[in-house]
Amino acid sequence: MNASDTTQLKINELMTVKEVANFLKVTPNSVYRMIEKRLVRFYKIRSGLRFMKTDVESYLNSCCVEAINENDYGGTKN
């Protein structure tokens, strides 16, 4: 894979606000609030906003809350 192939691959991974909203199953207004709070990385291209899919996935991973084992924290036994 040469440099132009790599560039083309990254261009194909760019998402619009609407695509990000669909991917995250939220409204476009929610995406704009995320942008306003700088919660997700984005690119300003002319008058539009674009997102790398990997950046959106990183944001999603940062929102993950790990499960706990109830037995370790005094959970009830059945």
What single string gives the DSSP state of each residue in 25-77? TS-HHHHHHHHHTT-S--EEETTEEEEEHHHHHHHHHHT------GGGGTPPP
The rounded mean pLDDT for the chain is 86
Whole-model pTM above 0.85?
A: no
Check the CA dihedral 39-17-43-24 and report its sign.
Answer: positive
In a domain, 34, yes or no: yes
In a domain, 10, yes or no: no
Q: What is the pLDDT of residue 72?
A: 73
- Please state which of the ranges 18-27, 38-47, 61-70 shows the lowest mean pLDDT: 61-70
Q: Look up the domain containing 35 and give its range.
A: 15-55
Q: How confident is the model at residue 6 (pLDDT cuts 50, 70, 90)?
A: low
In a domain, 42, yes or no: yes
Residue 74, pLDDT > 80, answer no
Higher pLDDT, 4 or 19: 19
Please choose, from the candidates 35, 30, 31, the residue with its C-alpha nearest in 3D space to the C-alpha of residue 17.
31
